[in-house]
Each structure stands twice: as structure tokens, then as C-alpha cells.
Amino acid sequence: DIQMTQSPSSVSASVGDRVIITCRASQGISSRLGWYQQKPGRAPKVLIYSASSLHSGVPSRFSGSGSGTDFTLIIDTLQPEDFATYYCQQSNSFPLTFGGGTRVEIK
Amino acid sequence: QVQLQESGPGLVKPSETLSLTCTVSGDSIGSGDYHWAWIRQPPGKGLEWIGNTHNGGNPFYNSPLKSRVTISVDTSKKRFSLRVNSVTAADTAVYYCARHPPYLPFDSWGQGILVAV
């Protein structure tokens, strides 16, 4: 199974900050990585697919990069609605696996 | 626009079987364009993929659950189902159904249903 390791597990930030979240796969997954945002009591929403492609309707302050085993999600100019938990997920092979999540909290 | 909706009992007794259904509107489960999946999230914890079905083929299951899980599809009724046998308190979670294109992330999710054991 491919293990997905996210860091940090939580981050405190202020509105306007830049937040960087990393995700490492235990083996190469090419660019078959997605990022999700989840708010309390809601289903996750996809932000990024194929490591760096912005899903339809997602603000451009979200960006993704990486390939192989190391990936990054960047949130530029953090907005109040961005305080949430973020997950990465590999879609390269079964079993599909998620990272443990990064909680972005208000500083 | 595709919509997915989970349904089923919110409370299951230990050792019994958890049964959920996902009803799909706005898309065809049998089209072959997407995989259809179940994912769960224990309270306060992360996401766990349970299994996938695609185009009527054999489902894929997550190994820790494989011996207790069955995913089936009723294409004519536009729904797919999840059964988890011999449940314990560890199976308490919000259960989501979702779809994804091959090799891409889950792009549509149901609202989720909390099942307590």
C-alpha cells in the first residue's frame, strides 16, 4: 500500500498569510495526486487534481506542485473561508489512500 | 450535475450488518466513465477509502476491511450499496459515497451519513 504522509498536522495562520502543506508518498505516484478541503460537518471538496491542476471553481490562490513522491499545496493570501482541514490523496493505485490531514487554524 | 445521496440506518448494533445505499442522479453508474466508491471518516479522524466499483467489474476493497465488506451495483435503479458485516464500535463513522474518474480524485461526494455502532 502507498502511505501518504502530510505535514504539518496543524498550522496556525492569519488572514493574508501564505500557507504551505506538504505530502509525501511512500513510493512514486507520478502526478496522480489530489488535494481536498474539508470543513466541519461537510464532505471534502476537491481543490487540485493531477498534482497541479486547479479544479473548476477553485480560487487561484490555491496551487499545487510536485511529482513522484513529494507534493505541495500552497494557499496564497489566506482568506477567512480557508480555515479548514486539507487532505492529499493518491489515485495511482489501489488501495486509494489519503494523507492524515492538515488543520489550518486561525492564529 | 451529478448528485449522490447516502441512505440507511444511523444506528447498528454490534455484530450486526451495516447496510447503506447511494442513489445517483445526473449521471449513469453504468457508463464506465467513473469509479463509484465508499469512504468513511470516524469522528474527529481522517478519511479512509473502503472500496470502489467500476463498470460492473469486480470491486476493489481496502485490505483491512476486505473480509467484511461488499459493494454492489444496481445500474437500473441508479444506486450502489455498501454492506459491512460484524460491525464493532470501530466502524462508527460518517460514511460517504463518491465518484472519481480513473486516476483522478473524487470530484463528487454525497453529504455523508453518520452511522453509530
Please report, for chain B, how many H helices and E strands are present, in that order.
0, 10
Mutate to test the interface with A, among B5, B22, B47 (most CBs of A within 10 A): B47
CA distances from B47 to A23, A88, B26 (A): 15, 10, 25
Within 28-57 of A, beta carbons closer than 8 Å to B belong to 32, 34-36, 42-46, 49-50, 55
- What span, in angstroms and rounded, lies between the C-alpha atoms of B69 and B49? 12
Residues B27-44, mean pLDDT to the nearest whole number:
91
Q: Do B113 and B10 form a contact (C-beta atoms < 8 A)?
A: yes
| pLDDT tens for each residue of B7-21 | 999 999 999 999 999
Sign, CA dihedral B64-B11-B47-A12, equals negative
Which residues of chain B does A91 touch, with a Cβ-Cβ cutoff of 8 Å? 100, 103-105
- Average pLDDT, whole number, for chain B? 94
CB contact under 8 A, B109 and A87: no
Residues A20-41, mean pLDDT to the nearest whole number:
98
Distance from CA of B11 to the nearest CA of A (A): 18
Distance from CA of B101 to the nearest CA of A (A): 10
User: Residue A99 belongs to what H/E stretch?
Assistant: none
Q: What is the pLDDT of residue B56?
A: 73
Q: What is the largest CA-CA distance in chain B?
A: 38
Q: DSSP 3-state helix, strand, coil percentages of chain B (rounded to 5)?
A: 10, 45, 45
Which residues of chain B does A89 touch, with a Cβ-Cβ cutoff of 8 Å? 47, 105-106
Residues A74-79, mean pLDDT to the nearest whole number:
96
Mutate to test the interface with B, among A87, A96, A102 (most CBs of B within 10 A): A96
As a whole-number percent, the residues of chain A with pLDDT over 70 amount to 100
CB contact under 8 A, B60 and A91: no
CB contact under 8 A, A95 and B62: yes
CB contact under 8 A, B49 and A96: yes
pLDDT band at B75, cuts 50/70/90?
Answer: confident
